[in-house]
A = this chain, B = another copy of it.
């Protein structure tokens, strides 16, 4: 969030854009399942040149989705899930659109207003 729990549009843009790439989602998954790791360990899973992965890591850093901790000549990357929690918050007001549909209510709910952020 930017100020008081309010997520700026620019930050949401960065987070969603960071997630809009299979390599970056795979990195997040590796950090989630394998814990904090140096760049080499991550790079071993991909075909691309290592500097390209470095750029993906920068995108993830700028989105706040990972953090780095220097240890000798390595950079240990760690998953930072806070932005994902905000994505979940963003999703909340949409939930009724698939939960209610499953209950067979169909299009009945398409006419009742509501309100929240973004």
Contacts and interface: CB of A to CB of B under 8 A. Distances in A.
Interface in A74-118: 78-79, 81-82, 84-85, 87-88, 91, 93-95, 97-98, 101, 107, 110-115, 118
A29 interface: yes
A95 B12 CA distance: 18
A16 B12 contact: no
B33 A113 contact: yes
- Which bucket holds chain A's interface residue count? 35 or more
A93 B12 contact: no
- Stoichiometry, as copies per complex, reads 2
A78 to B, nearest CB: 7
B21 A114 contact: no
A41 interface: no
A50 interface: no
Contacts of A21: 13, 16
